[in-house]
Structures are given as C-alpha cells and as structure tokens.
Structure 1
Amino acid sequence: MLPTLMLCVFGITTGEFVLAGILPGVAAGLDISIPAAGLLVTAYALGMIAGGPALTALTARYPRKPLIMVLLAVAVAGNVASAVAPTYAVLFATRVVTALVTATFFANAIVIVATAAPEDRKASAVARLALGMNLAMILGAPLGTFVGTHYGWRATFVAIAVCCAVGLALLPRFVPATAGAAGSATAELRVFRAPAVWLAIAVTAVGNAGALVVFTYFAPLATEVGGFADGTVPVLLLVYGVGAAVGNLLGGKLADRSPVRSQLWLLTALAAVLALMWLDTNVVLVFVLGAAGFAIVPGMQARVLTAAGDAPTLAIAVNASAYQVAAAFAGWLGGVALGLGTRSLFLVAAAITVVGIAVAAVRQVRPAVGTRG
C-alpha cells in the first residue's frame, strides 16, 4: 500500500514543484510574459489554500479508496489538459483544478496510511508517505525540467500524467478497501471547535515559515552570502533535498516516541542552523538545513491527526493550506527583509522559527486529550 501511495504523491506533487523550472518555456510557448507565467504558481498555491479544504469538506462522507481514485483520475486529466492547453486562460484553469485535487488527495492518503499504522508508528508512516513529496523535489522537479527543456514544456505535463496514471492503475490492487471511510462533513467541521487543532495548525504555519524564507531566496543566499558560483545552485538544491529526505524519515521516528518534545527540540535545532548560516553558509549546513526543515513536518502532521481524533481529513487539508500560507508569507517577508541585506534573511528566518517554538510550547502546556508528551 505505502509504495503505491508514495508513487501517487510523487506524481501529483511533481506537478507543483516543476512549474518553476519550465516557466520560461511556458511563457515562450504561449507568448506571455514571465511574470504572467509565474502567476500559474500562485494559482496552484491558491487552489490548495482555499479550494483544497473546501473540496475535502464536500467529499468528507465518501469512502476514501474510491475517492482518491477519482481525485487521481482528475489529476491525470488535469495534466493532460495542461499539456494540450491552447491558451494561457485554459492552462491557468487546469492548474487550479489540479491543485484542488492535490490537497484533498494528500489529506486522504495521510489518513489512510495513519489509520493502517500501529498507534506508536503513525508519525513514521506519515513520514514515509511524505517521502514521495521529497522525491518530487529531489528527482521529479529536475527530471520534469529536463524533459521540458529537451522536448518542450507540454511533454513535462504528459510525463506527470503518465506517472499519475501508473499510480491510479496500482491503487485498486494495493490499497485495501478497508483502509478507512470518511465521516460526515459536519463531523469534520466539528473538530475545529478544539483549540488543540488550531494550535497544531498554527505550529505548521509559523514553524515552517522561517525555513521557507531561506528556501524561497535560496539562489541569492547561496551566491551572494555563501559565495557559490551560479552553476552550483542546482547541486546545492540537490544537497538540500537529500537532507530533507533524511530529516523527514528521522523526524517521523522521533515523533513516534514523543511528538511534542521532539517537535520543540527539532524547531530549536532549525533555529540554531539558521543562525549558524548567518555566520557561515556552507554545503554541510545546507544539508543540515534541509534535514532540520523537514524533520519537523511528520510530527506536525501526526499532531494534527491526534488532535482531530476520529475526523481528521479536513484538519489535514487545512494544515496543508497553512503550509502554503506560510510559503506565501515567507516570500513576502523575505522580499521586505532584503532591504536589510541578503544575509539578514537568515536572522529573520531564525527569529520566525523562535516564534514557532513559542507556539509549540503553548501546545505542550495544553496538549490534545490522549496525546503523548
């Protein structure tokens, strides 16, 4: 089950990460400006932020296995439509639709995996599923960019559609029908009465913002602060991605043992790494930054699952939206902080992470009923 869902997550999220690499080709192919093409990234993010939770709520009463098959089929169709889109407006619409199903698919996949896992291994199971997203960053985006560069940007969307189609073909056989059935929309909405759910989501939004500031402005930080040549930036991103994959798996194991305490320690480590990079930006710290930045993620997902109790799907979708909001905020704040000098971004990012530690500490004082400390 898990490898099949990882493949699906890899395919569907590659569509998000690859856009940045093929923007010039899209702009040239549709005769639009680069900024206009960049709005496709914004459209995808907005689709996940606003539309993802809405679609998740509307589909809450449907059994999960047939639901994720329909969602993945829409993703296949959306990527095929993107590949043949005759105009910018059509491409814009197809990206929004694909973003809608991405958020809902990921939320349901997390619940399926977590439900099937033993109680003391839920976080590491979620981490292994999220490894599909890490691989989309490490392998999917570069490979998609390579395909787009050599065969045209439309071929990139065809390749993503094929990957998702393979996952769709495997789902009926390898994902059991007993993996879980969604509750009612009312039950899913009711969990938001619990302060623990909002605190868990707040940690995701604030705790990730610092690392996202640095990731958003990774290239200028590497060249202007680290002194690396422009040509080494892709290699450094690969180093970051490998660190992210390692950190993701490690974070899952730590969260299995103690979800709250491990999160506080990991956020503290992330703040420390960001501060160290202000002093010296090197390859080792780039790897450690990727590891620390993604080690915090499985525990965040697991805590939302625990806080939401028996109706976690919508809470997970909103949590994914919180991550996208953090990314948008990080881009804006980083742009403002650049006025203080490029190096200052590391200190700004460290400061935001410290705020995330404070929010996580509040959650430790008021944990969800039944959680482990």
Structure 2
Amino acid sequence: MPFALFLLALAVFVMGTSEFMLAGLLPALAADLDVTIGVAGLLTSAFAIGMVVGAPLMAAFARRLPPRAVLLSCLLVFAACHVIGAVTDDFPVLLATRVLSALANAGFLAVALATAATLVPSDRKGRAVAILLAGTTLATIAGVPGGALLGAAAGWRVTFWAIALLCIPAALGIMRGIPNRSVHPSPAPRLRVELGQLVTPRLLLAMTLGALINAGTFAAFTFLAPIVIGGPRLGEAWVPLVLVLFGVGSFVGVSIAGRLSDRHPGTVLAVGGALLFLGWIALALLASEPAALLALVFLQGVLAFGVGSTLITRVLYAAANAPTMGGSYATAALNLGAVAGPVLGILALETGAGDVGPVWTAAVLTALALGLAALRRRDLLGG
C-alpha cells in the first residue's frame, strides 16, 4: 500500500477525534460559555449536518483542482477553526467554527476517498478504504478517550489546541506524500454527468445500504452508556472501557474487510450482515449480563464496521464513472447514517422501549438493509 494512504489516515484520525470527542466535553463547555447542555449539544448536530451537506458541495467545488491543494486547504481551515474555537468566549462563534470545520472535514474525506481509490490498482479499492476508515476507528480507541482525559485534566479548550497541533504533522505528510497534480482521468467528466450517476440503480443501492448499516451502528453506539450503567449496572467507570472495546472491534472489522471486500464482497455482506443482525438482537436480549455485553460490544464493532466499510467500497466501485464526485457520495452515505441513527435511537428511547431501544432500532435497520440487498444482489455486486 502506498505510504500516502497512511498519511491521509492520520488526518482522518485527527478529524475523527474532533468529531467524536465533543460528547465528553459538553458539560464543561456549557458551563464555561454559560449555555445549557441542550444548547451545547447543537455543536454536535451542526457538525453532523455540515458533514452531510459539505461532502458533495466541497467535492463539486474542488473537482478540477489538484488533490494535494484541496486536502491541505481543508486541513488548514480545520486547524484554524479549532484555534478560534479554543480562544472564543462566544457560543455563536464556536458554533460557526463547528459548521465550517465540518465542511472542511467533509471536503477532506470526500477528496481523500476519491484520491485513495486512484493510488491503488482498480481491484484494491477496499484496502484503500479500510486504511482511511482505520483512522476513524483509531480515533474512537485512542483519540476520543485521550481528548476526554485531556479535557478533564486541563480544560476543554486545551483539547481544541491539541487538535490544531495534530493537524501540523498531517499537513506536512500530505505535502510530501500526495502528488501536486490531478489523479483523475483528464479531462474529467462534466459535473452534470457525474451527478447523473446518482440515479443509477447500483450506486443508489450501495449508498442506501451504507446509510442504513451506519444508521444502525450509530443508533446503538451513541446510547451504549445508558445500557452499560442501567443494564448490568457496571457503573459509569466502565463506559470508557466499553466504548474503547467497540472501537477496537471496529478497527479489527475494517482491517478484515480491507482484505476481503474487493474479491469477496458478496460473502462479507451476506455472512457479516446476517451475523450483525443476530448480534444486535443478542445484545438487546443479553445487555443485562456483563460478560455477554462486553463480548457482544466487541463483536458488533467488528461486524458493523466490516460490513459498513465493504458497502462504502461498493459505493466507490459503483461511482467509477464519477471519479471526482465518488468520494463525496461515499462520505454522504456514511454521514446520513451518522445523523439519522442517533435521531432514531432517541425516538426508540422515547417510545418506552427502554435503554436497549436503540439496539432494537439497529436490528431493524440492519434487517431492512439485508432484505434490500437480497432483493437487489445483482445490482449491488454486478459490473
């Protein structure tokens, strides 16, 4: 694998840490800026929406520019937003920086996914996607807990400074490792032609399935804490460990999928998808048993990210005729799921399904994805 892929993964790690770490910083941040926890939560919503909207917009804007210039610009804007966020005492300013940093993050990931697919042979896109998504999974393992610990020890503003500083080695690596020329076919298809690919059955199916699986993953993952505390009554001290366990599983999952998703996508989706569905049911039923909970959290991390990353790879294959926009389609599918999943999880909690309601939601979403994939298997895997 080209070393440039690992440099892109480093930047994805930094951005993933910023995206996920905020949940542990909201109480201190709300107290410091004199807003309620609910208002502070808008920072998370703003970031998620910015990711969904920003991916196609940024990719369309930058489609004819050299990838290195776009990646560096997005990374520097992302770093600058965190510097401003670290020094401001004005919540609206901080909110604006989160929206802008989300746009930069979305643009970076969209271009990185499209670029990664061109740095490897045409039949190894799955390996490239796995390396990039490993940056996100490592953020849940090390970056997010590290940010929470740093915030608790030195204040939430220090974590923003730390993110800005981590952007520096990532930027230097991109300057050295990514060519300063377009890696897409020249001339690239017209934007209208690339956008037209969105109505093709294969691409639309892959994006829908990716969004469904990711929505299920985030519905359950977002609400693991109340399950840990209320089910087996392990106590709040176990929450970080459980989240890290899920992160370790997700890293294992994308690593396995990276080796299988190019040559055996049907097997990964059929076997992995079925096990993922059964795993959500088992987790919902056995959440009160500590040993079963810990084992299933790890296993679901493996399966959710293994199946999810395989579907994102299918998006890139299906978007082969949209070389400059394909990465944004994959990014949009990921983040549509990341936005919808927690919302559906909240609805499950409010309907009286209990702490495991979001897990049942994940099972339903996975079942929908499996049914759709079975009906349209030829569209998903053909070509």
TM range (shorter): over 0.9
- Give the direction of change, closer, same or farther, for the CA distance of 1:176–1:315 in structure 2 (3 Å limit): closer
Structure 2 contact 8–170 (Cα < 8 Å) conserved: yes
CA RMSD of aligned residues (A): 1.9
* 2:322 pairs with one of 282, 293, 311: 311
Structure 1 contact 62–181 (Cα < 8 Å) conserved: no
* 1:356 pairs with one of 361, 365, 369: 369
Bigger mean CA offset, 31-40 vs 336-345: 336-345
Equivalent position of 1:280 in the other structure = 286
CA distance in 2, matches of 1:345, 1:86: 35
Structure 1 contact 244–290 (Cα < 8 Å) conserved: yes
Secondary structure in 1 matching 2:124: helix
- Give the direction of change, closer, same or farther, for the CA distance of 1:332–1:134 in structure 2 (3 Å limit): same
Deviation at 1:188, TM superposition (A): 2.8
- The amino acid across from 1:342 in the alignment is D
- Give the direction of change, closer, same or farther, for the CA distance of 1:323–1:17 in structure 2 (3 Å limit): same
Secondary structure in 2 matching 1:18: helix
Structure 1 contact 255–299 (Cα < 8 Å) conserved: yes
Structure 1 contact 247–292 (Cα < 8 Å) conserved: yes
Identity level (%): 36
Equivalent position of 1:328 in the other structure = 339
CA distance in 1, matches of 2:376, 2:323: 18
Equivalent position of 1:74 in the other structure = 77
Equivalent position of 2:236 in the other structure = 230
CA distance in 2, matches of 1:62, 1:362: 39
Equivalent position of 1:84 in the other structure = 87
Show structure 2 runs of 5+ residues with no match.
Answer: 288-292
* 1:53 pairs with one of 49, 52, 56: 56
Secondary structure in 1 matching 2:234: coil
Bigger mean CA offset, 227-236 vs 153-162: 227-236
Deviation at 1:331, TM superposition (A): 2.1
Equivalent position of 2:290 in the other structure = none
Equivalent position of 1:366 in the other structure = 379
Aligned residues: 370
CA distance in 1, matches of 2:216, 2:194: 30
- Give the direction of change, closer, same or farther, for the CA distance of 1:140–1:336 in structure 2 (3 Å limit): same
Deviations 1:142-199 (A, max 9, x none): 1112222222211111110111121111212122335714834334313213121111
Bigger mean CA offset, 360-369 vs 281-290: 360-369
Alignment of 1:1-373 (within 5 A): 1-177=4-180, 180-181=183-184, 183=188, 184-281=190-287, 282-338=293-349, 339-367=352-380, 370=383
Deviations 1:275-318 (A, max 9, x none): 11123232111110111111112211211111111324434323
CA distance in 2, matches of 1:313, 1:355: 30
Deviations 1:38-81 (A, max 9, x none): 10000001101123321221221212121111111111111111
CA distance in 2, matches of 1:312, 1:354: 31
Runs of 4+ deviating beyond 4 Å: none
CA distance in 1, matches of 2:359, 2:33: 37
- The amino acid across from 1:153 in the alignment is W
Structure 2 contact 16–136 (Cα < 8 Å) conserved: yes
- The amino acid across from 1:318 in the alignment is Y
- The amino acid across from 2:237 in the alignment is G
CA distance in 2, matches of 1:14, 1:344: 27
CA distance in 1, matches of 2:337, 2:60: 22
